Amino acid sequence: MVGAVVVLVVDELYVGMLQEDGDYDTVASLIKIANDARTIVSTVGSAMLTFIGVVFSISLVALQMASGQFSPRVVRLYVRSRITKCTFAVFLATFLFALLVQASYEGETDPRKYSHTPFAARSQRACLLDTG
């Protein structure tokens, strides 16, 4: 949470510095980039939530069939598995991160009134996507 606050403060300082220098063309280009990034974040968030639903639904159907043929303990082992919990947590965290970044975008398009652009958040997200 502290990292998110630091990222927003860096973004506000960067845009404020550009506005003080009168470099509104750079702010306008950042707004265009932010709008494109907003579309990508929206797509990643909705795709990740769909992916979570499909993967875990299919795996639960497969487990139900396996428990009918082998043993009901198969479902218990799947639910208690650390790998399953970690996988679900990573997918859900990716969705929540995309949702939080999307919520940080502004609707303002005038470079003189714009207060921040999620520049540092985009950089942080790119690093997370590269390492993941």
Who has greater pLDDT, 103 or 111? 103
Q: What is the DSSP string of the chain?
A: -HHHHHHHHHHHHHHHHHHHTT-HHHHHHHHHHHHHHHHHHHHHHHHHHHHHHHHHHHHHHHHHHHHHHS-THHHHHHHH-HHHHHHHHHHHHHHHHHHHHHHT------TTT-----HHHHHHHHHHHHH-
Closest CA to 102 of 29, 44, 28, 51: 44
Using alpha carbons, list the distances in angstroms from residue 103 to 25, 36, 75, 130.
24, 14, 37, 22
| Chain segment 57-78, per-residue pLDDT in tens | 998 888 888 888 888 788 888 8
CB count within 10 Å of CB 102 equals 18
Widest Cα–Cα separation across the chain: 71
Residue 54: predicted pLDDT: 93
| Chain segment 30-62, per-residue pLDDT in tens | 778 777 878 888 888 899 989 999 998 998 888
- What average pLDDT is seen over the chain? 77
- Domain spans in the chain, listed from the N-terminal domain onward: 38-131
Query: Is the per-residue pLDDT at 117 higher than 70?
Result: no
Label residue 130 by pLDDT band (50, 70, 90): very low
Label residue 82 by pLDDT band (50, 70, 90): very high
CA distance 60 to 44: 24
